[in-house]
Amino acid sequence: MSTTQLSSTLETGAAPKARSRRPRWSLIALLGPVTAFLGVFFFMPLAIMAVFSLLEPGLYGGVVWNFYADNFGRILGWANGPIEEFDPVYLSILMRSLRIALITAALCLLVCYPVAFWVSRLPPRRRNFCLFLITLPFFASLIVRLYAWVLILRPSGALNGLLAWLGISDAPVGLIYTEAAVLIGLVYIMAPFMFLPLYASIEKLDRGLIEASYDLGAGRITTFRRVTLPLTLPGIIGGSILVFIPTLGNFIVPSLLGGAQVLMIGNLIEQQFLQARNWPFGAALAMLVMSVVLGLLTLYVRATLRRQATDVPGKEAQA
Amino acid sequence: MKATTPEAPVVEIRRAIKQFRTPEGQRVPALAGIDLSVGAKEFVTLLGPSGCGKTTLLRTISGFEALDEGSIQIQGQEMNRVPPHARPVNTVFQNYALFPHLSVGENVGYGLSVRGVPKRERLQRVGEALEMVGMNGLQQRSPSQLSGGQQQRVALARAIINRPALLLLDEPLSALDRHLRQTMQRELKSLQNELGIAFVFVTHDQEEALTMSDRIVVLNGGHIQQQGKPTEIYDRPVNAFVAEFIGESNRFRGTLEPGDGGLGRLCLAGDEPLVLRRPAQSVAGELQVMLRPEQFCVHPPSGDRYASLKGRLTAKAFVGRDLEVILETRGGQPIKAALRGHDGQTLAGRELGDEVALWYAIDAPHVIAA
Amino acid sequence: MKTLLIHVRKRLLTGYGLLFFAFLYAPILLIVAYSFNSNPINMMVWHDVTLDWYRAIFGLPHQLGDSELYADSTDQLLAAVRTSLTVALTTTLFSTLVGTLTALAVARYRFRLQGFYRFLLFMPMVMPDIVLGIALLIFFISVGMPLGTGSIIIGHCTFLISYVFIVVSARLAGLDTRLEEASADLGAGPWTTFRRITLPLIAPGVIGGAMLAFIISMDDLVITYFISGVDSTTLPVFIYGLIRRGIKPEINAIATLLILASLAIAAIGLYLRNKQHSATPATPDKTDPAND
């Protein structure tokens, strides 16, 4: 492996070396703006938020500069302060958020997998048109797309109208402000995030492998379970993570379609900042969301790197 | 075996050393102390296998690689600190590197345009350069509309328009098919005569090198193995690597014993000795001797200036003009021979396993370093 | 029998695919249809085609509906559009510039912190909106910076630089470095090479990144929601407020216009993408008509 890399370094990969000849000062000029901007307006805010999550909330908003671990305690169960008591409702909201995010990812997968398969088998022109149609709503306003579901799901909305017209049900079905409504809205806006990575891995799938599996006597289900599924796993995992992350902290969908019934952790954070004015508690909740997301990403990146590391010899052998 | 170079070389490289660092952190020499000079109108080919350092050497001349040690002079001027765009050399890149967003005319005129040559003169010279490569009139085309051979010509026109002292060509023909490659070889050679400038040509194709070059520089492992005229390299390789890399060769290892009348006998393990004319320089002990496949015949002209090797016929294949046969001597040494005409017909009639004698002129065996 | 089964299965899959498209597009089409319905009481019941809701949102005379809500909100709507455009244009300009510079640095130089910078630019893209939103809110309040157009612009840039970086980096990765070498070889200095070779060839990536930044900035709700001041509401935040206050037919008209606008931008983007040059030299084929 090192010898092939070596010869390619000597013959063609020599190009990057020439880059080191460029002057240092221009590098500093190129990187200066982004370093300064993200340093001040991205990392500093996150750092301040981390500090805030460990401060005592002021009585009428604001913070008191005392170390105060009970913000986390209030969520996780060890609070003992005079104003902070452990309230299982926060933990249950956190759990619900995790559950909803997981179910959303699973639903997106179920919805998108067959579609991705179907699109990948279309003739090129129609395939590109379908890909275009699937990515297009992504560019349409998010709030407008959610508003559409408010129109559909509310008691005097399109769905009940349709049901009444079909004669199935006259009594309005109360769909809005339920967890189902939140899930529908989330799946609707997240589906493209699942579709694209899934499609990428399904399209790469060599049809010959599936045929080889049939040829060796495997049935449809066995083939799917032992060939198709493992080979498209990277797309499945990638898509699930792309759906899970934004869903976990989402507060727009539950606030429009879930109302007060289906609070997610995003709504809780919003309330702490815009209504309860308990910033340290809100910051602690946000820290929690952030750690879940970063933890998940770290696991994902590690797994991907490990897979790439084990993949490399196989690729060399093919080449 | 120092090759003769005309006076006032256009490029003079001294003790060039360049190392690369592998991803694993090892240091690998790409150039391990190269001395090379290129004469003003010379066609020099850098030949060697993948990773031998030939491309690196070319890129240090064009300025895309900096030397770790040593010096490069172009037209007597020290170049070590001169950036690529200020060097009086131009390059024809592998796969041509034509600018996809510019037309053929704009590609060819690019070098003049960045130097601020006025438009009238520029257009005229673009026309002339394209004329030289037989592409005039295609100025408005986009490079993507051209065939491989046409792109190759445009790349050439673009590189010569600045009238460089030296043209560097980095495997420019490797993407072309065999037929087109041969045409381009002839055209390149005549273009060089017409321009009267030096060409440094990088290739891993030994046939290409033998056809086109005034001088071939064989590189391996960052070292110059041998340099000289194509015939010199082919007939008198200095070591096993060169003998093996250029053309096909049979090599015999043994100890030399003096014989009668200026002849010598190379004693081979398990075989009859190989008779050859004693080399001029006195060699003793173990040495290697090379014979090319085409140096064998079946019906030698009469006279005592021929000697033979015997073996069993183990393979024969008709490859067009020649019959290629492989013999195995009693000692197990394979001998490959390419036989033509009457010789070929004779052996074509023999069965595999037959005992056959192959003759060679006693002047033919070439002694290479052991 | 077996071929029939395969046929049925194929049909089923096609049907499912079409159902998926219906799921994607029916809600959007529903809004468009509603926006022309003249029934002021119940938009579910179709009365007549009208343009009155469009007139209403621009404060023009019309016959339908109570204009109570929108009498003074036409100004608010236009102000929100203005704010959105100001924010999106400024953000696009800044994040395109900074993102492109960063992509150039990371792609064309070798330095020790390369991996760090990739990580740095990856972070804002994976940070949940709500976390970034409240972090910025805390930050602006703590340093005493007033919330308004300025704070929204800064907030959007924090994550849009990354989007531009990714798009331009992808383009740069596809750009053959030999083209830049060829330019230097022909006598062009670094700046000339950048201006005449690199920039034209990465331009599609830069434009693509800019359009993406513009669209996302126009559409951002969550971060803007936290860091927009009282007087500077962007369009999505404004619409969010309207919906929360109650469903009115006029919202359909606004929503329809917004959909049309985003479709137009997306169409332009795709048109430009199809027109662009490839960033690699034309691949030589092995035939030469001139020679045959």
| B45 and B149 part of one domain | yes
- Average pLDDT (C171-181) is 89
Tell me: the pLDDT tens digits for B280-315? 666 667 788 888 888 888 888 776 688 888 888 888
Backbone angles phi, psi at A55, to 5 degrees: -110, 165
**pTM score over 0.90:** no
B206 and B267, same domain (yes or no): no
Contact C183 B110 (CB under 8 A): yes
Q: Is C18 helix (H, G, I), strand (E, B) or coil?
A: helix
Tell me the chain B residues in contact with residue A21 when contact means C-beta distances shorter than 8 Å.
66, 83
User: Which one-letter DSSP state was computed for residue A41?
Assistant: I
Do B84 and C184 lie within an 8 Å CB cutoff? yes
Number of domains in chain B: 2
C108 touches B at CB < 8 Å: no
Check CB contact under 8 Å for A11 and B55.
Answer: yes
**Mean of the per-residue pLDDT values of chain A:** 82
Distance, CA of B312 to CA of C252 (rounded, Å): 94
> What number is the average pLDDT over the span B199-224?
88
This complex has an ipTM of 0.85
* Closest listed residue to residue C281, CA positions, set A230, B142, A60: B142
Task: Report pLDDT digits (tens) over B256-266.
Answer: 777 777 777 78
Residue of A nearest to B62 (CA): A18
- Is residue B199 domain-resident? yes
**Are residue B232 and residue B256 in the same domain, yes or no?**
no
pLDDT band at A134 (very low <50, low <70, confident <90, very high): confident
Close Cβ partners of A31 (under 8 Å, ≥ 6 residues apart): C101, C102, C105, C117
- The answer to whether C121 faces chain B, any CB pair under 8 Å, is no
Q: Tell how strand B198-203 and strand B43-47 pair up.
A: parallel
Same domain, yes or no, for B198 and B182? yes
Q: Which of B244, B276, B311 is the last residue of a domain?
A: B244
Asked whether residue B225 falls in the same domain as residue B311, the answer is no
Structure tokens at C272: 């430009």
Chains that touch B (3 or more CB pairs under 8 A): A, C
End of a domain among B244, B260, B293?
B244
Tell me, yes or no, whether B139 and B91 share the same domain.
yes
Average pLDDT over residues C166-195: 90
Domain of B95, CATH number, reads: 3.40.50.300
In the predicted structure, residue C74 carries a pLDDT above the cut 80? no
B32 and B142 within one domain: yes
B130 and B258 in a common domain: no
**A15-19, B352-356, C44-48, range with greatest mean pLDDT:** B352-356
Residue B299, domain extent: 252-368
Report how far residue A217's alpha carbon sits from residue A215's, in angstroms, rounded to the nearest whole number: 5
Name residues 32-61 of chain B within 8 A of A (Cβ): 50-51, 53, 55-56, 59
Residue C108: phi and psi, rounded to 5, are: -115, 0
Same domain, B266 and B297: yes
pLDDT in tens, C27-40: 999 888 888 887 76
pLDDT band at C2 (very low <50, low <70, confident <90, very high): low
Q: Identify the CATH number of the domain defined by range A108-259.
A: 1.10.3720.10
Q: Residues A38-90: pLDDT tens digits?
A: 999 999 999 999 999 988 888 777 788 888 877 887 887 776 666 666 678 88
All structural domains of chain A with their residue ranges: 108-259, 264-319
In chain C, the domains with their CATH numbers are 71-247 (1.10.3720.10)
Residue B287 belongs to domain with CATH number: 2.40.50.140
pLDDT tens across C144-158, in order?
Answer: 999 999 999 999 999
CB pair distance less than 8 Å for A42 and C101: no
Question: Phi, psi at residue C263, to the nearest 5°?
Answer: -65, -40
Distance CA(B87)–CA(B90), nearest Å, equals 8
Give me the torsion for CA of C143, C148, C153, C155, rounded to 10°: 50
CA-nearest residue of chain C to B101?
C277
Helices C149-173/A24-38 angle, 10° precision: 140
With CB atoms and an 8 Å threshold, state whether A48 touches C135.
yes
> What are the helix (H) ranges across chain C?
2-34, 52-57, 68-71, 73-108, 114-126, 129-142, 149-173, 177-185, 190-193, 199-219, 222-227, 235-245, 249-275
Looking at the fold, whether B223 and B170 belong to one and the same domain comes out as: yes
Cα end-to-end distance, chain B, whole Å: 17
Calpha distance A93→A261 (Å, rounded): 11
Cβ-based contacts of A7 with chain B (< 8 Å) = 50-51
Q: Residues of A with CB below 8 A from C137's CB?
A: 273
* pLDDT of C139: 95
Strand partners, B91: B168
Residue of B51, B64, B83 with shortest CB distance to A6: B51
Nearest Cα residue in chain B from C277: B101
